[in-house]
Every structure is written in C-alpha cells, then in structure tokens.
Chain A
Amino acid sequence: MKVSITVNGKEHHGDVEPRTLLVHYIREVLGLTGTNVGCDSSSCGACTIHMNGEAVKSCTILAVQADGSNVTTIEGLAKDGVMHPMQTAFMENHGLQCGYCTPGMVMAAVGLLNENPKPTEEQVRVGLEGNLCRCTGYHNIVKSVLAAAGSK
C-alpha cells in the first residue's frame, strides 16, 4: 500500500505492507534509527515521535494510518547543528545515562511543554507517565524538563 509521509520536513513516498508499524517504517525504511523500540505493549514510550504536532507512540500506529501526516522524529529537533532547548536542558541536567529512552523522553517532554508551558513538578511527572527509564530514576529528567520550561 502506498504511503506519503512528511518526516522532519521532507516528504517520503513508500510502499508498505498494511501491518508495517510506523516505528519500523521510520527506522528501517527511512533509516532514522534515533527512535527506539523498547517494548511490545505500548508501555515504554521509547518510540515517541510527534505526529501533526502531538506526541504519539509510533509503535502503536500503522504506517498506513500515518499516510499524509507530518511527522517529527528526534533527528528533526536540532536545527542547523544547534540542539533544541529541551536537548540542551537534558544535557545540562544529566537527564540521560544510557540514552535509549532519551529520544522518546525528549519528544514526550517537548510535547508536554507545548501543551503546558509552565508545569509544576507533579505535572511533569504525570505528563511523562507514558515514558519509562531504567537508568536515571527520573529525578534528573524532571529537573531537565523544568529547566527547559523555565528557560522560555
């Protein structure tokens, strides 16, 4: 089935089996391996991208469902070699260790601040309930997101 998806500003045309998950299309067909697969029950959020401006789990969307949509992956956040303020905040606050959950976490956090620009700590923690991390214990992730919110 033919699909046309704009990813990080570039339109891509593909021909996929209906069962192809969007995350697999992004990783394997488009070669954008920054988005990661961490589970098989839509629990971990490592696959989080933005679709039409909203944070979604790309493992729970078929590529054919994303036909005609506008997708941003982690590779599309930095502009001209300059990291997005959220990426900078994560680095400055040690919000990552192994980095595997990080692309999804950053995309979810950017989505969170898009909808709630000045969250409380509690709202950040609840806002990231769909993203699991095994390394950081979340303490510095929360700090990073609050720092990014404060810097606007």
Chain B
Amino acid sequence: MTITENKTTNVIGTRLLRREDPPLLTGEAKFTDDLNIPGALHLAVLRSPYAHAKIKSINVSAALKIAGVIAVYTGKDLQTTWAAPLPCAWPVTKDMKNPAHYPLAIDKVNYVGDGVAAVLATNETASRDALDAIDVDYEPLQAVVDLEDALSDKNIIHNDLGTNKSYTWPLLVEDTPGCVEEAFKKAKYKIKERYVQQRLIPMAMEPRAIAAVPQPFGGDITLYSATQIPHILKVMTALTLGIPEHQVRVIAPSVGGGFGSKLNVYAEELLCMALARKHNTPVRWVEERSENAQATIQGRGQIQHIELAADENGKITAIRVRIIGDMGAYLQLVTPGVPLLGAFLYGGVYDIPKAYDFSCTSVFTNLTPTDAYRGAGRPEATFAIESAIEALAREMKIDSFELRKRNYIKKEQYPYTAFSGLVYDSGDHLTAAEKAAKLTDLAGVRKQQKKQNVPGATKLLGVGMTSYFEMCGLAPSRVLASLNYSAGGWETATVRVLPTNKVQVITGSSPHGQGHETSWSMIAAEKLGVAPEDVDVLHSDTAISALGLDTYGSRSLPVGGVAIAMACDRVIEKAKTIAAHQLECAAEDLQFVGGTFSVKGSPDRALPLAAIAFGAFTAHNLPEGCEPNLEAQVSYDPPNFSWPFGTHMCVVEVDAETGAVEILKYIAVDDCGIQINPLIVEGQVHGGVVQGIAQALFEEAVYDGDGNLKTSTLAEYLVPAACDVPPITTAHTTTPSPTNQLGVKGIGEAGTIGAAPTVINAIIDALSGLGVKSMAMPASPQTVWKTIQAARGGKK
C-alpha cells in the first residue's frame, strides 16, 4: 500500500509541531561551540591579507612568547602531516586541472583568507592575540579577479597547471549534427543575452565550529563539527590524514544552518584533527563572521551567455549556452560540479527539441573558493532561461506569460523524456502558473499598472514571474557515475521496533534546520501505526548512523525519507510472517491496518505490532528460520532525480527617482509532490524565497581589483532583516512523484531557485516603459537608478 493510494493518512500531511523546537527555544540545544570540552586547546588561523602573493618568510617567535600560546605551525611545518590534499570529490572531466590544496599554504597564497599559520593556545583570547604577533613577509603578486581576465591566461595563478582553466564541460545534444546552428539560422526570432550570477556568501547564522577530541588509547578520534556531511567527512578526513576510517567518529551536534556552506571538507577540520592527535589533547576552533566571509565557501559566480531560437509562434527551437564558472582559488569538495548541476536545466520547464548546445569553462581566480550554495547551479540556470524567455517575449512583442504557455511541457507529456535523456517524473506547469496568476490578481495588477505607470510617475508598478524546475533528490548513482562524481547518491535507513513497541529510525540524513526528526517520525508512524512521539530519530553521529550520504541537494526526503518507508515495509513484512505464525494463518490472509495485523474477515483474530515486537524480542514462538528482533536496514538508490516545480510571481514598486525597490506582494506556488508536513514545507519555501529575494536586491560578495573582500561583515554584506522583505504567500499544487512510494520530491532549494528571476523580471517590467530591458543583480537602488538613466540616454 503506497502512501498515495491510502486516502486516510493519519499523520502524513498534518502540520505536526516540531520536536526539535523545545531545546532550541530554551537554549538547551548544543551547537558545536557550546560543547564543554575540558582541557581543549584553541586553534586560530592566520590568514593571508593578499589575494596573490609569495610567502617569503614567517616569523612566529613573538607569538610564541604570548602567555597561553602552546605552538605555532606553518604550512611547511605540517607538510608531512597530510596523506593527501583536501579532497575534490567531482573531477568533472578526465583532464580537469585541480591544484593541490593543503590546509595551510606553503609557498604561495592564492586568496585573501588563505590559511598561512595555525596557532594553538590554552584559551581563545591568547590564540587571537597571537595572530597579531606573527610576522609574515609576503611578496605580493598581481591578483586575477575578473573571469574574462582569468580565461585569457595572461596571469596564471597555479604555475604548475600552466593555465587558469580548470575544465571545459560540454553538453551538446543534437538530433542531427549541426541542427543547433541551423535552427539559429532559420529562426524567425532569436535573442542573445548575457547575465552575471554574482558571488554570494551563504552566511548561515552559526559560524563554523569544530572540536577534535582524541581518545587516549587506540588512536581513535572524535570530530565534532558544524557540518552538513558527517558521513562524507569521516571518510574524507580519514583519507586526508592517512588514518584508518574506523578510527574516526564524526558527530554533528545541533547545526545552525548550512545552505551548502557546511557541505565541505575544510582546512580547519583537518588542522584540528591533526593537531589534536599531535598534542594528544582536544583542539577546538570557531570562526569569526568576517573570517567566515573569506574562509567558508561562497556561492554562484558565473558569466552566462544564452541564446534562444524560436519559430513564428515563439516555440523554442534551439538553445545555446556558454558559461564561465568562477571556481575561486582552489577546488573544494564539489566546486567544479556546481555549474554542471544546472547544465541540464537551461531549457527550464519548456518542451525543448534535441537542439541544445551547452558548454561551461571554469577558471581559477584569486578569490575564495566557490561551492554549493542553496540551489547549486539550478538558480543560475533558472535565472538564465526565465530571463531569456522574457527577452524573447520582448522581441516578439507578446506577453511573456503567453509565450511561456506556448512552450510549457504539458501535463499529458509526463513522465517526460527530455532532450538530455533525463526523465522528468511529473509536472503540470500550466496549473501552477495559473494558480499563481490568480493569487497575484495578475489582471488587476496589470490594470493598476496602466493607471499608475504614466510618464513622469515616480512610483512604477511591475509584475514578474518565474516558472521553474528543480532537479533534486540527488541522485541516481549511475547518473552520478556518468558525470564523474566520486560518490553515489543513495541513502540509508534502519527502522527498529524495540520490545516495548517504541521505534528507532536511524537515518543517513544530517539535518541542520529542516526538521527531519519530526518528518521522519511521521513517516514511520504512518507506516507502522504508532504515534510519532513513540518514534525516536537518530542521526548525525557516525557511531550510531554508520552509513549515509548526508543532507544537501534537497535529497533527504525523496531519498532518505523513502528509504525509511522502505525499511518500514520490510519490518512489516517480517512482522507479518511472525503474526501469521502466531495466528496460525497464511501471511496473505493478513492485513495491517492501524498498527494491527488481523485476519481479513475475522477481526477478532488479531495481533498488534506491539505484541509482535515483544514476541520478536522474547523469540519464544517464532516461525522456522525467523531471526529474533524486528528491524530492517535499507540502502536506497533512487532510480531518478526528483523534479519539483512551480511558478512564483511578485509585484514591485520602483521609485524612479531613487531606484529603491519595494516588493508589494510575493506569491509562491510550488509543487513538491506529496507533502509530509505542510508546516515544514512552507517554512522551507519562505526561507528559500527570501534568500532568492536577497540575491536579487541585496547581496553580493564585492571584491576590489586586488582581490580584497569589501563585504566581509554582516554590516556590509546585506542579509536582509524582517522589515526588508515582504510576507510570502505560499500555495501549492500536488503532483505526486511516480518515482517513489511516498510520492515526494523535496522542497529545500525550490524557493531560492524561483525567487531571484521573479524579482528581477518584476523590476524590468516596472521600468519597461522607460526602455529598460535588463537589470543586473543585485538590483541595488544605485544600480536601478543608473539603469534608468542609461535607458533614458542620460536625461534625468
């Protein structure tokens, strides 16, 4: 019985309040920096103030004299500590260039923030004071900051590579060779656009924190880290340090947000572990916010060129995309793969023929390394196609919603095999879009717009939309193999019914705000007929959850949650055989409803799961060959990605005199298939949308020509507050995924994917009467004002 068939779900679909909340609300929850670790030494890292420089010498003698300072290490001192450099788990091409990256720089620094020395002290204050006392003699070199400059190879960052180009990755899909070029030649309409996806700083509210605690005998070490990936960290740190994998235990305590920035193997984690083992004492570290801005990965960073060819009806006949990806100074865990995650989505939600020419060249720059940040490649792709389709509509002088309708993949076409060969599981773009239009009162807004946007008007009204696709639920392992990703995409679940009918769920997912404990308890409760509060969900400790692939890419529900459902199925299967034996009937004669096995037609011949669980424990009367205890473990490799989709719309008012933008309303219609907990789904959409709005209006990691980060505090890097963003109207359609028994798709990144182009399109719409056809991100008041001036030809 699948969840989608069972019309009377008890728990799934309810707005169950989160069990995670009380300890978080009362301050009892422990984040990594809250842990009490007596005797721990504090690590501080001295970071390069230059984006590109040779290290001539490092003098630590003054630092060593500071009371409390135990030791100071340079990159050279620690060279023999590492069995391998920091890992990059995604060699996207065979010839991809990947410079060796060690936890501390040795001869050369390659970005502002690059670690140069490590201080160990008995207290955090001394470790911080010691940083000021270390004298490094740098020979500054010219920094490479601009992508097109990097591409030219005039100034090579990693000498041993001989180029700044890390890789070129093409995705050329042609029905017949040369059909893309032909389509452009024949096209009735074509557009060519250039967009810049600015660098963003994830700014999870909890700065990264670590504590490495060695065990005195046996060589074991426990790594506490504010990480999204305890399992991956375990194997990667073991390999990098050259220690046996089974001697490493990784625990993620409460983690204060990640958004991809804690999906990594960081220098500081390796430094804490190595120095803890060296000194045989715990070593802990916490980053300062301005340190986080430089030393924790940044997101996005692309220059995009997109071309669309269309026929006389506006039906897209070919797409051509060229991306330059900004890798930053080094390749961190999945840095090179981020642009590729979007590579398949430049056709968006549209019915595209096999005429798709995509290529991404990624380059090194003397800037903080980039990596996955909420959406990882898909917001970039969605921005490009949803802006390009607006450009096409302008070219054709028709309404862009109308143009989208002509191109949407139709509901009847699902499951839809795309040009790429990927199968999109389910969708109904038109219904979601029309629902968004209704909630926005699109017709009313257009009427108001006509009245309001008269020549000379100060406040201009605009409405924008985005219809998006999300490729998530990472991922079918064989597809990851074809993309050269070094790991798989499965997830594990163990479901165990304890003797007294309490349930343990052990998941390989690693939540950091998403409410997995609540949602997973709901799945198990629904399947097993127990109350959610009788389900304990264990995670984020590799000694307890030994196998898993952690949380990112909106994968935990469509992969991890489904694994739990499957493990419950196996438990029920085993319980059924025990029940059949104890009820002296055939297993096929039994039904399992409301937590009880009963003989169909004889409701009095019944056994509750509680009795089976206790019976499995006593093992007094089990069928031949049946092992005691009631548990099952599943490793689930999803057969497909999952494809949430939706349409977002927003109404903005632009002050033409100042360039200030106010969002009057924001409507998000999202379809993530079946919703386990609508409360949590809405929260994910709210948060994702606001990050996308922030990208459109507020945020940018600004570097000067020398590679200095000008926005390294939360005073300069503009994460918005409550009064800077609007309330979000959320609605949904429900198009269950046929890929899994729960019908679920995942929602974690969808809001961010839809929001930025929605806002930018609305601003362009508001200013279209002034001749504005494009808007750079972030659309700060100055940028908006300058764009207006340029469109007016400089006249005020």
Contact = CB atoms under 8 A, between A and B. Distances in A.
A61 interface: no
B727 A139 contact: yes
Given A99-B20, A99-B24, A132 B723 contact: no
B768 interface: no
Most buried by A among B206, B679, B688: B206
A47 B257 CA distance: 17
B683 A38 contact: no
Contact of A74 (B27, B31, B724): B27
Given A34-B26, A40-B289, A43-B714, A100 B722 contact: no
Nearest to A19: B125
A98 B725 contact: no
Most buried by A among B289, B716, B728: B289
A134 interface: yes
A60 interface: no
Interface string B240-267: 0000000000000011110100000000
A96 B688 CA distance: 14
Contacts of B24: 96, 98-99, 102
Contact of B680 (A19, A92, A94, A133): A94
Contacts of B512: 98
Contacts of B30: 33
B722 A135 contact: no
B108 to A, nearest CB: 28
Contacts of B728: 137, 139
Nearest to A42: B715
A100 B205 contact: yes
A91 B689 contact: no
Q: Determine chain A's interface SS by DSSP, over half rule.
A: loop
Nearest to A133: B205
Contacts of B207: 37-38
Contacts of A140: 682-683, 686
A150 interface: no
Nearest to A136: B687
Interface residues of B, number: 57
Contacts of B515: 97
B286 to A, nearest CB: 8
A90 interface: yes
B721 A98 contact: no
A27 B32 CA distance: 13
A134 B125 contact: no
B719 A134 contact: yes
Contacts of B21: 90-91, 96, 99
B713 A99 contact: no
A73 interface: yes
A22 interface: no
A42 B719 CA distance: 13
B34 A33 contact: yes
Contacts of A48: none
Interface string B281-300: 00000001110000000000
Given A43-B713, A99-B254, A137-B686, A36 B722 contact: no
A100 B34 CA distance: 11
A46 B25 contact: no
B204 interface: yes
Contacts of A100: 31, 204-206, 256-257
A106 interface: yes
A142 B288 contact: no
Most buried by A among B17, B26, B27, B36: B27
Contact of A83 (B25, B31, B514, B719): B25
Contact of A91 (B25, B36, B204, B691): B25
A124 B256 contact: no
Contacts of B687: 97, 134-137
A131 B34 CA distance: 21
A40 B205 contact: no
Contact of B721 (A39, A46, A97, A131): A131
A151 interface: no
Nearest to A43: B714
A77 B686 contact: no
B721 A138 contact: yes
Minimum-distance CB pairs A-B, first 3: A34-B27, A100-B256, A99-B24
27 contacts: A33-B27, A33-B33, A33-B34, A36-B205, A39-B289, A75-B27, A83-B25, A90-B25, A97-B515, A102-B25, A122-B723, A125-B721, A129-B721, A129-B722, A134-B205, A134-B257, A134-B687, A135-B683, A136-B686, A137-B683, A137-B688, A137-B689, A139-B686, A139-B690, A140-B682, A140-B686, A142-B727
Given A129-B724, A138-B721, 20 more contacts: A31-B36, A32-B27, A33-B30, A34-B27, A36-B256, A41-B290, A41-B713, A41-B715, A43-B714, A43-B715, A44-B714, A73-B27, A91-B21, A91-B25, A129-B723, A134-B257, A135-B205, A137-B690, A137-B691, A139-B682
Interface of A: 17, 19, 27, 31-44, 46, 73-75, 77-78, 83, 87, 90-92, 94, 96-103, 106, 121-122, 124-126, 128-142
